[in-house]
Structure 1
């Protein structure tokens, strides 16, 4: 059988369309719930992260695709900000998807296999598992308190207990909460100032999601692999299983089933050595007009090897690297222009001074610095306005800094 052959550029364009980098989403003057749901059709889930030097990761992932949207769209749908005493059911829920993630409530039955494994102390962090095994009475006490008083956050619990080792200063109650959350006995009812509030799933999730039977593990893995493949458009087995952090033993039977039913077909991609598959619904645009700053936790670049294979762009998070050893900066965002990653910026929202700080700006070797800097200045202005910052301050670090400074000054 002769396999379809794709150039690297064709694979990039398929991936960008699959990930929701579309003019019909970016070009909207006023976004509504339909645009949020359309974006989730392309990304599947949003990673949540506590780093807030620029903005929360889930906000930035949506900004990359929608532009200057109203944050309250996701806040209301997932109860991410408002105090969660509302009895309104959530359209999205938080759980361990890729990492900590916001997922559509419709996926709740597809994640229960992971909850059931966690209840058996499989697949969760060792410190949490050890605590739950050694302290079942404390776990049950915390559950009963949430059952009686929820929604509550960890500081609301009546008896906090001792702190257990170096885990961010987590005390016994926090460890019990995390075990209960991972095992699905409780869920996130929302957040206030990014502090998670907990309640019982049946009091938070839509009834049609909570009441549906849990999917058998194989059916769940197949669905999650299909979503990973659809959201990537084209990729390897590793690409697809990494999307929901599936193990090879869970992913491979599901992958084979998707191939046999025709959902995935093997293809060849220029420069890729591993076996590559294309989703049956993947589309190849004739051109790409994307322009976006990508947060470190954006689903387009979750898998660094994939980003390198698609874009010839080596990217690593340097948040945990000592300052003197960082190459590009602390919170570095790649810049997508057309169908290429052309630059990277170290950014911070300086809310005290009301400016968007560009601590460093580095371009890729073969770019047109004038064109890239002009596009970057426009994107930074859009971001600064969305963040309600008054200006942009470009520092001198990086080979693109001088050109970017001039473009920003001319805005």
Structure 2
């Protein structure tokens, strides 16, 4: 059967609508947004606002407040933090098989981790007992009782407490209960999650291993389907064989699309809007997809030497309808209560209407941040 072909405009509109960035009905609240997007990426960078908050604002506008995310994570427990991502608690079952298999025999890519955990089993038991007695705790309040230090050529070298906490969280033995400022607070997973993974306390037979691997593969498949639904169109390991194949005019290779979203796009005409995107927004997270579908050149230049920057320290891509049309380099100056615009780069001439729309978005962003105005543009 011949693989159907769609043009770039259709592919872009599918991606924009899947990410809740079109001009359709606004989302009902934070939880439905995260359920649809499947995740909010956490990043400590806050030139304007933390990424998770900025992404939520882009979808929800002034109705969203950062306190809502904190309440969902720490009080309502409708969301959870796992591996620098905020995810719906309803999706936890899709990650439990991965947690349970994290240190399973035969997982040779994790052999270094499991060997280190085995050598530091006393350290592990000390941390679990400490959290059981005193948790939740930040890492700075946990004593380093490692017998074998964590070896690394990078920044994690000898960061034994941090590494142990990350590994125990990956195994589902502990979880992030909340935050104190920017510091993560850790607790036993059973106090955070409604259910926790089961780690076998004895070697598993072939039948048990096969059953566990089957559960893991099924959960992985469902995650790929959820990911594709949130992206609309994609390719690669993140989506695997989810959805259906499609070709996009003037691009190479096959893509995967969510067939239901494609049908809805044909049924309901696309309505565009203007939006300022976080550099970590999932619409542009896959830079190759961004370049092929949107024909947009972009790089986060925060770590690029000032003299070598083209667009600025923290440039926000500008989405207009189904096109990425420019970048706005801006920063929140809370002392002066201003959103300072350092530069505006027009990949396509903005024109009066688009300039007005971008100004309105900047004013809306400043108001949401509690700033009194916009300066510089």
Instruction: Give a deviation string over 1:271-311, Cα, whole Å, max 9, x none.
Output: 22111222122131423322211111111111001111121
Which of 118, 128, 134 aligns to 1:143? It is 128
| In structure 2, C-alpha distance between the alignment counterparts of 1:329 and 1:154, rounded to whole Å | 34
- After superposition, the C-alpha distances for 1:300-353 in whole angstroms (9 at most, x for unaligned) are 111001111121102222222222222211212101111111110122111111
Q: Which runs of 5+ in 1 are unaligned?
A: 29-33, 80-87, 244-250, 259-263, 395-404, 406-411
Shift of the alpha carbon at 1:212?
A: 10
Measured at CA, do residues 125 and 195 of structure 1 come closer, stay the same or move farther in structure 2, by a change above 3 Å? farther
CA 1:57–1:314 in structure 2 vs 1: closer, same or farther (change >3 Å)? same
Structure 2: 5+ residue stretches without partners: 200-211
Corresponding residue SS for 1:267: strand
Change beyond 3 A, Cα 1:172–1:277: closer
Q: What's 2:303 paired with? A: 320
Structure 1 CA distance, aligned partners of 2:355 and 2:158? Answer: 44
> Shift of residue 115 of structure 1?
2.3
Distance in 2 of aligned mates of 1:58 and 1:309: 26
Question: Displacement, 1:57?
Answer: 0.6
Q: Is structure 2 residue 331 aligned with structure 1 residue 332?
A: no
Q: TM-score, normalised by structure 2?
A: 0.85
Match of 1:385 among 347, 351, 367: 367
Who is 2:350 aligned against? 368
1:156 to 129, 141, 144: 141
Aligned with residue 86 of structure 2, among 97, 102, 105: 102
In structure 2, the residue matched to 1:74 is: 69
Say if 1:335 and 1:344, in contact at 8 Å, map to a contact too.
Answer: yes
Q: Is the 8 A contact 2:123 2:145 kept in 1?
A: no
CA 1:25–1:305: 2 relative to 1, 3 Å: same
Displacement of 1:385 after TM fit? Answer: 0.3
Pairing partner for 2:238 from 242, 250, 275: 242
Structure 2 partner of 1:399:
none
Instruction: Report SS of the residue matched to 2:238.
Output: helix
2:247 match: 268
One of 327, 350, 356 as aligned partner of 2:339: 356
- Checking the alignment, whether the CA contact within 8 Å between 1:186 and 1:199 is kept in structure 2 is yes
- SS of corresponding position for 2:57: helix
* C-alpha RMSD over aligned residues: 2.8
- Are 1:183 and 2:166 matched, yes or no? no
Alpha-carbon separation, structure 1, partners of 2:316 and 2:338:
17
* SS at structure 1 position matched to 2:326: strand
Measured against aligned partners, the alpha-carbon deviations of 1:116-143 in whole angstroms (never above 9, x if no partner) come to 44435766797x7775455332233222
Paired residues of 2:177 and 2:192 also in contact (CA < 8 A):
yes
- Give, in whole Å, the separation in 1 of the partners of 2:179 and 2:7: 44
Q: What is the distance in 2 between the residues matched to 1:125 and 1:199?
A: 25
Matched, 1:47 2:29: no
- 1:291 paired residue among 274, 294, 316: 274
How much has 1:266 moved relative to structure 2? 1.9
- Residue 186 of structure 1 contacts residue 200 of structure 1 at CA under 8 Å; is this kept in 2? yes
Aligned residues: 354
Q: Distance in 1 between matches of 2:312 and 2:102?
A: 36
Alpha-carbon deviation of 1:40?
2.1
Structure 1 Cα separation of the partners of residues 315 and 35 of structure 2: 27
Work out whether 1:115 is the aligned partner of 2:99: yes
Q: In structure 2, how many angstroms separate the alpha carbons of the residues matched to 1:125 and 1:25?
A: 48
**Secondary structure of the residue that 2:256 maps to in structure 1?**
strand
In the alignment, the residues of structure 2 paired with residue 78 and residue 58 of structure 1 have an alpha-carbon distance, to the nearest angstrom, of 12
Taking structure 1 as reference, are residues 36 and 125 closer, same or farther at Cα in structure 2, changes over 3 Å only? farther
TM-score under structure 1 normalisation?
Answer: 0.78
Q: d(CA) in 2 for partners of 1:211 and 1:43? A: 24
C-alpha spacing 1:187/1:276, structure 2 compared with 1 (3 Å): same
Does the aligned pair in 1 maintain the 2:319–2:325 contact within 8 Å?
yes
Q: 1:74 to 1:311 in 2, by over 3 A?
A: same
Distance 1:360 1:136, change over 3 A: farther
